[in-house]
A = this chain, B = another copy of it.
């Protein structure tokens, strides 16, 4: 049961991080293309929000690794 959870969970984590960071990255490159002189501010906002998503996703991935290794069973 834990193995099933690890696999499904890791997949859903990747979907969440993918959609979220994908939306940020997409708009970032479009915005830099429109205002190249603001690329420093854009890159700062991009890194900050993407890092917040990455933080939650890594914790979700760690939960899945715990499950896959059978720790806590």
B68 x A45 contact (CB < 8 A)? no
Closest to A17 in B: B56
Chain B nearest CB, measured from A73 CB (Å): 7
Binding site of A, secondary structure by majority: helix, strand, loop or mixed? Answer: helix
Which chain B residues lie closer than 8 Å to A7 at the CB level?
2, 4-10, 63-64, 67
Extra inter-chain contacts (18) besides given A1-B4, A5-B6, CB under 8 Å: A6-B63, A7-B7, A7-B64, A11-B15, A12-B16, A14-B15, A16-B18, A16-B19, A20-B22, A21-B22, A22-B49, A25-B50, A28-B49, A32-B42, A39-B41, A45-B46, A49-B50, A60-B61
- Contacts A/B (CB < 8 Å), 9 sampled: A2-B4, A8-B9, A10-B11, A14-B53, A18-B57, A19-B20, A21-B53, A25-B48, A33-B35
